[in-house]
Amino acid sequence: MLHCFIHQYRLQVTEKELNYTYYQNILDCSQIPFSNALLKGLSGKVLVFNADTEIFYQTILFLDKQENIAIREITFVVENKKEFKKNLHKYFEVVKASGGLVVYQDKILMIFRRGKWDLPKGKIDEGEKAKTAAIREVAEECNLQTQIQEKLCTTWHHYWMGGKMVIKKTKWYLMTTSNPMEAHPQAEEDIEEIRWVSLTEAQNLLANSFPSIEFVISQYFAKQSANRS
């Protein structure tokens, strides 16, 4: 499933059959024309059948204006997710990035940057592999040498640059380190603080973070819970 975050809204794209009882609104774009007027009347969790990249794009433009804060998340069911992602380039500039959730014992590393709690991440250089970029970004931003344990998830989020909407695709990796006390922030990247936090502390800090970061951390703790059960 593709997970995209637009301000406080969560968008998901899937080919799979879903549990309809989870959603407050269910739309079929083969039966009802999709429009901004339709979006203004929705709330809660929304399921959209027979969606395509054009509908996804128009939805993002609408949600970017935050004209309907009653919507919590929208799930788009598409015929072919691979084709859907290929078509994204027709509507957005897609930037690839990579980042790491670094753990040491029972704590995770979070950084404070530009007024928000975040995780270390950055753009993938041309010709660079995502794993290599993730290790490099953590080393540059946090002065930590790390080892990748596994892929955690991929998130997508948007921003505007030069009058054009950009979608950043970030691959996230679970990492470990053997030298946690050597961590210090990279001032050149506006990182003011690095903190090793417990699950409870992380949940408190996420009140001043981004939905995509909350999702990444939730994926980690979900894996931890699954491994213990």
Question: Which of 89, 122, 143 is the last residue in one of the domains?
Answer: 89
Amino acid at 216: V
Kindly state whether residues 108 and 33 are assigned to the same domain.
Answer: no
Kindly state whether residues 34 and 119 are assigned to the same domain.
Answer: no
Segment 145-169 shows an average pLDDT of 94
Kindly state whether residues 113 and 223 are assigned to the same domain.
Answer: yes
Kindly state whether residues 52 and 108 are assigned to the same domain.
Answer: no
Question: Which of 63, 89, 115 is the last residue in one of the domains?
Answer: 89
Kindly state whether residues 104 and 211 are assigned to the same domain.
Answer: yes
CATH label of the domain that carries residue 135: 3.90.79.10
Alpha carbons 141 and 133: distance in angstroms, whole number = 12
Residues 58-76 as b/e (b if ≥16 CB within 10 A, e otherwise) read ebbebbeeeeeeebebbbb
Segment 13-39 shows an average pLDDT of 90
DSSP string for residues in 75-128:
EEE-S-HHHHHHHGGGTSEEEEEEEEEEEETTEEEEEEETTEEE--EEEPPTT-
Cα angle 71-55-41, degrees, rounded to a multiple of 5: 35
Q: Sorting pLDDT into bands at 50, 70 and 90, what band is 95?
A: very high
Q: Sorting pLDDT into bands at 50, 70 and 90, what band is 55?
A: very high
The pTM assigned to this predicted structure is 0.92
Split into its structural domains, the chain has a count of 2
Alpha carbons 166 and 53: distance in angstroms, whole number = 15
pLDDT of residue 90: 92
Segment 126-134 shows an average pLDDT of 97
The range of the structural domain enclosing residue 76 comes to 2-89
Segment 52-65 shows an average pLDDT of 95
CA dihedral 138, 139, 142, 143 (to 10 degrees): 160
pLDDT of residue 126: 95
Q: What is the per-residue pLDDT across 166-192, written as a single tens digit (0 to 9) for each?
A: 999 999 999 999 999 999 999 999 999
pLDDT of 7 higher than 80: yes
pLDDT of 120 higher than 90: yes
Beta bridge partners of 107: 104
Kindly state whether residues 163 and 119 are assigned to the same domain.
Answer: yes
pLDDT of 101 higher than 80: yes
Residue among 122, 127, 131, 123 at smallest CA distance from 186: 122
Segment 190-198 shows an average pLDDT of 96
Q: Which token pair is 184?
A: 């210090």
